[in-house]
Amino acid sequence: MTDRRGTTARLTCAYHSWTCATDGTLLHASSPGETFDRTCFSLRTAHVRSVCGLVFVCTAAEPPTDIDDLAATVTPYLAGFDIASAKVATRIDLMEEGNWKLTMENNRECYHCGGHPELACSLFATWGLTADTVPPELAADWDRSLLADAALRERCTTHGLPWDIVEHLTDRDAGFRISREALDKAGESFCVTGERLSRKLMGDLPDFRLGRTSLHVQPNAWFHGLSDHVITFAAYPVSADRTLERTTWLVAEDAVAGEDYDVDELTHVWRHTNSQDADFVQLAQQGVSSPAYVPGPYMRSEDQVEAFIGWYTDHMIRHLDHLDHLDPGERS
């Protein structure tokens, strides 16, 4: 398949015209030999699960059995956005010149967030810190963030929306973390002023000041839900030192470009943030490629990086243990 999207009743290879049904069954192959068994050459299948309009694809032989737990937990947080009916405002693919692990580590921490001036406008300066790690010069910002969180919790309670942090990043196959947190300034969206970027509320959300709902799913996806738009991110390894990061901006189904939102303004913060992250990842790739490179410890604020590494390492060890019990011909 060479087209990224479309509708078809058959899947036909542009090279030799082998034709498959949409379930992957091989229907036609020109001039097969007498011993050719068509059933041996079907397309590989994948497991697909939609959770509140977010489509998760698993190419493993067996999907994670705890995906139902993930769905049950995150649905109360995501249902109000009505992502399944949302409109794609735009999508941007960015090739990062770095290893996929570096891309994901960069995403899973905010130790470097001082390098994101646009994003920092809508985040409190103390984001990611705890009461015992806030420096004296940020005490006022910390107090403001506590007041904003309290106000957000009150609004969520009024509207029957969950706001607690739920974290299962290491103790299950479908590892995830979801939270709802207050934004700084106007508190409405990812904007340098904190104000809404679309005039239309997502789904049936009742208020523009509902902060950001953030979902991380192991191993390669993360999502931010604002009252006026939703952003989805996914990172795909392309080679040992290149990673594709795909970002999609969604708006309400009835939002009209140029009237209710401006694409350039809608994407401003995360276009710049993604570009800055790509530069950081490239620098990190250069660093780890140096013969003088020596790994160092994670800082206390990088606990989610450690969770990601722990999850990934555990799954790789389990996979290798599984391979050890297979005959050589069964390994793939």
| pLDDT tens-place string over residues 43-88 | 999 999 999 999 999 998 899 999 999 999 999 999 999 999 999 9
Do 121 and 194 touch, CB atoms closer than 8 A? Answer: yes
Do 210 and 155 touch, CB atoms closer than 8 A? Answer: yes
Section 145-171 average pLDDT:
97
Is 178 contained in some domain? yes
Is 33 contained in some domain? no
Is 60 contained in some domain? no
**74: closest CA among 223, 191, 276?**
223
Contacts of 25 (CB under 8 A, 6+ apart): 42
Beta strands (DSSP E) in the chain are 11-12, 19-20, 26-28, 47-51, 54-58, 87-96, 166-168, 176-181, 212-217, 221-225, 230-239, 242-251
How sure is the predictor about 313, in pLDDT bands with cuts at 50, 70 and 90? very high
Please tell me the predicted confidence (pLDDT) of residue 331: 52
Please tell me the predicted confidence (pLDDT) of residue 319: 84
Residue 306 φ/ψ region, left for φ over 0, alpha for ψ in the -120 to 50 degree band, beta for the rest: alpha
> How far apart, in whole angstroms, are the C-alpha atoms of residue 86 and residue 84?
6
Section 180-202 average pLDDT:
97
- For residue 107, the enclosing domain spans 67-289
Is 105 contained in some domain? yes
Q: What is the tally of structural domains in the chain?
A: 1
Is 264 contained in some domain? yes
CATH number of 108's domain: 3.90.380.10
Is 261 contained in some domain? yes
pTM, rounded to two decimals: 0.93
Is 206 contained in some domain? yes
Is 305 contained in some domain? no
